[in-house]
Structure 1
Amino acid sequence: MNKILEFTHLVRLSHSLFAMPFAIGSMWVAANGFRDMSAFETARIIVLIVLCMVTARNSAMSFNRIADAKFDAENPRTAKRHLPAGRLSRKSVMAFLALNGILFVVFAWMLQPLAGALAFPVWLLLLSYSYWKRFSWLCHWFLGFAIGMSPLGAWIAVRGEFAVFPIFLLFILMLWMGGFDIIYATQDIEIDRKQGLHSVPARFGLEKSLRIALASHLAMLVLCVVFGFFWNMGWIWWAITGLMTAAIVYIHLFRKSNDLDAMNRDFFLANVAISALVMIGLIVWICMGGDVNELY
């Protein structure tokens, strides 16, 4: 039991709340609210998509811990992570990585042939984000892109095809998570510079980095507006976009504390709230008469 808990802490399972709601919302729209599916087929799709999400994320996080073990050991903030601190062995984490990778591919094949065919290349792409910080300060948005693939993947898992609708969701999530990751990285400005790692804070400093994060979040809001107009998402989407705007404006411009730990905590909560709001907006849109067939 202790080992299981260690692995849940290793992959920071609570952070699944960032992308999972986007994937569920996309899945719900792709399935047209599951109006024409049996209870068994509905349950099968939901369970398999959730399992794909969990195993894909477990793979990416465990590989990240392996790839960054040396850097984590030299960083006071991360030195107590599982591999540097010896709480888990490298072999056990590699076995966990392999198991989750195999399960991800199997679950994807069980959903759709196209999802199965894409699963291994997508898995490799997810793992590759761990290396972006070694050569480019664009790493934050690549992480956002990797996470943003979840709504597109959920769409393909249901419908077996690509579409513009989930690609919009991908870029909305990419811009949101990229901005958040910049803020998260402000904790490691000096150690990143010392270790020769690339990040927006290490390249541009604290103040410019926070402005770049704000710009990324404002771009996300613009994309949300375009998304709402393009597909005529109705009042529920505009209400949610308004709430997201209020949260972003407050945290970036009106919060009183300049403490970075508090800012990261606030953005963690905002991440969960915004992801949940998008999911609710998509599900309510379908329940109020939206039709996926009108998206084509």
Structure 2
Amino acid sequence: MLKKIRIMLEMIKFEHTIFALPFALMGAFLAGRGVPGAATFGWVVLAMFGARTAAMGFNRIVDRGFDAANPRTADRALVTRTVRLREAWAMVLLATLLFFFACTRLNHLTLLLAPVALGLTFFYSLTKRFTWLCHLVLGLALAFAPLGGFVAVQGSLAGFPWVLSLGVVFWVAGFDTMYACQDADFDQRTGLFSMPARFGRQGAFRLAIFFHLLAFALFLATGVHEHLHPIFFAGIAWTGVALFYQHLVVNPKNLARIELSFFTMNGLISIILFVSAWLALVLEAV
């Protein structure tokens, strides 16, 4: 049983929760200008876990045919049948129920927005079949993380820093475009849509740079909009360093260090932004 759970968590890349959860918490902290109550904090974390698990499970289910044909993904659990299809569907159902239950424990608006947020994450998994804008759709899906965290505490959208969610859109679109360069040839052969397949790796990297410049500016604007303590802007500076570094170590002709760029650097960025926002709010209260 424990082995099966480990395999399923591996299948959905549980560790990648680090991309969205810090932004959900950042939204929650900004809404209350500090750490929310323990109950709210816990339900936000559970809602994020449920939403992401359901979304990734659905993605693995609908993409299993493509995964089987792609040498890079041919060892995924649903392809090798280490996880059965009915088990994957059961996981998606249970995670969806957890997500909605957590939202019922927060407030009315959170529950109203829940189907939109989860529906968008499911919709993303289908977008590579018809649009190369799929990377921006993924960014839009993850942009619900700070918005959801904010609404969970505030109960309304009044005062929400939209620039933060926009920053998440372009940050995610940038790193997902870079990551998709690994499958550019496969996407072209199979008729899947992506920016690397449409514009080539060189063009995709140029777009990723543009997206990350926009993201950096929007994260900076978040600090200005929220009148955050200067320590937040120190975090923004380190975010800029991390963004620059991932473009330094990966290029269209050499994707060998793409995992470092995709997971390590971007996981670091989300943590830096969350911690710097939290510290800014702590120092504001002193």
TM-score under structure 1 normalisation?
A: 0.91
Deviations along 1:124-162, one digit per CA (max 9) or x if unpaired, are 222111011111111001101101111100111111111
Whether 2:87 is the aligned partner of 1:92: answer: yes
CA spacing shift, 1:231–1:80, aligned 2, 3 Å: same
Q: In structure 2, how many angstroms separate the alpha carbons of the residues matched to 1:290 and 1:205?
A: 49
SS at match of 2:260: helix
Residue in structure 1 matched with residue 7 of structure 2 by the alignment: 6
Unaligned runs of 5+ in 2: none
Whether 2:265 is the aligned partner of 1:270: answer: yes
Q: 1:178 aligns with which of 161, 169, 173?
A: 173
CA spacing shift, 1:101–1:255, aligned 2, 3 Å: closer
Deviations along 1:5-60, one digit per CA (max 9) or x if unpaired, are 111111111000111111112211212214xx7xxxx1111111000000000000
Q: Conserved in 2, the CA contact under 8 Å of 1:155 and 1:166?
A: no
Q: In structure 1, how many angstroms separate the alpha carbons of the residues matched to 2:256 and 2:57?
A: 24
Identity of aligned residues (%): 35
Q: In structure 1, how many angstroms separate the alpha carbons of the residues matched to 2:253 and 2:49?
A: 34
Residue in structure 1 matched with residue 31 of structure 2 by the alignment: 30
Q: 1:215 aligns with which of 187, 198, 210?
A: 210
Q: In structure 1, how many angstroms separate the alpha carbons of the residues matched to 2:250 and 2:4?
A: 39
How many residue pairs align between the two structures? Answer: 285
TM-score under structure 2 normalisation?
A: 0.94
Higher mean alpha-carbon deviation, 93-102 vs 115-124, is at 115-124
Q: In structure 1, how many angstroms separate the alpha carbons of the residues matched to 2:225 and 2:155?
A: 23
Q: Conserved in 2, the CA contact under 8 Å of 1:168 and 1:227?
A: yes
Residue in structure 2 matched with residue 61 of structure 1 by the alignment: 56
Letter of the 1:16 partner, please give it. T
1:229 Cα deviation after fit: 2.6
Superposed counterparts of 1:249-260, under 5 Å: 249-253=244-248, 259-260=254-255
Higher relative contact order (CA 8 A, sep 6+): 1
Residue in structure 2 matched with residue 294 of structure 1 by the alignment: none
CA spacing shift, 1:16–1:236, aligned 2, 3 Å: same
1:104 Cα deviation after fit: 0.7
Q: In structure 2, how many angstroms separate the alpha carbons of the residues matched to 1:191 and 1:256?
A: 19
SS at match of 2:203: helix
1:255 Cα deviation after fit: 6.7
1:256 Cα deviation after fit: 9.1
Superposed counterparts of 1:1-296, under 5 Å: 1-34=2-35, 42-253=37-248, 259-289=254-284
Q: Conserved in 1, the CA contact under 8 Å of 2:106 and 2:152?
A: yes
SS at match of 1:261: coil
SS at match of 2:78: helix
Q: Conserved in 1, the CA contact under 8 Å of 2:229 and 2:281?
A: no
Q: In structure 2, how many angstroms separate the alpha carbons of the residues matched to 1:6 and 1:12?
A: 10
Q: In structure 1, how many angstroms separate the alpha carbons of the residues matched to 2:185 and 2:87?
A: 31
Q: Conserved in 1, the CA contact under 8 Å of 2:164 and 2:218?
A: no
CA spacing shift, 1:3–1:250, aligned 2, 3 Å: closer
Letter of the 2:233 partner, please give it. W
Higher mean alpha-carbon deviation, 212-221 vs 252-261, is at 252-261
Q: In structure 1, how many angstroms separate the alpha carbons of the residues matched to 2:63 and 2:260?
A: 23
